[in-house]
A = this chain, B = another copy of it.
Amino acid sequence: MQDIRKVKTERDIQTALLKLLREKTFDKITIADICATALTGRSTFYDHYTDKYALLEQMVAHYTDLFARLMHDRLNVLMSESGDKALIAFYKRLQPQGQAILTLLDVHEENADLTKNIKQELKEEWTHYLDTSDRPSTLPRDFMVFLGTDVVMSFIRWSLTHTVDEAIAHFAGRFRQAMFE
Ranked 7 nearest A-B pairs via Cβ: A8-B39, A4-B39, A4-B41, A7-B39, A4-B40, A11-B39, A8-B40
Please measure, in the bound complex, the distance between the C-alpha atom of A11 and the C-alpha atom of B40, giving whole angstroms: 13
Chain B residues whose C-beta falls within 8 Å of the C-beta of A41 in the assembled complex? 4
Please measure, in the bound complex, the distance between the C-alpha atom of A27 and the C-alpha atom of B16, giving whole angstroms: 33
Chain B residue at smallest Cβ distance from A7: B39
A31-60 residues with Cβ-Cβ distance < 8 A to B are: 39-41
Chain B residue at smallest Cβ distance from A38: B8
Interface residues, chain A, with chain B CB atoms under 8 Å away? 4, 7-8, 11, 39-41
Chain B residues whose C-beta falls within 8 Å of the C-beta of A4 in the assembled complex? 39-41
Consensus secondary structure, chain A interface: helix
7 A-B residue pairs with CB within 8 Å: A4-B39, A4-B40, A4-B41, A7-B39, A8-B39, A8-B40, A11-B39
- Distance between A165 CB and nearest chain B CB, rounded to angstroms: 26
Chain B residues whose C-beta falls within 8 Å of the C-beta of A7 in the assembled complex? 39
Chain B residues whose C-beta falls within 8 Å of the C-beta of A8 in the assembled complex? 39-40
Please measure, in the bound complex, the distance between the C-alpha atom of A8 and the C-alpha atom of B15, giving whole angstroms: 14
Chain B residues whose C-beta falls within 8 Å of the C-beta of A40 in the assembled complex? 4, 8
Please measure, in the bound complex, the distance between the C-alpha atom of A7 and the C-alpha atom of B8, giving whole angstroms: 15
Chain B residue at smallest Cβ distance from A3: B41
- Distance between A25 CB and nearest chain B CB, rounded to angstroms: 26
Please measure, in the bound complex, the distance between the C-alpha atom of A4 and the C-alpha atom of B32, giving whole angstroms: 14
Chain B residue at smallest Cβ distance from A12: B8
- Distance between A108 CB and nearest chain B CB, rounded to angstroms: 32
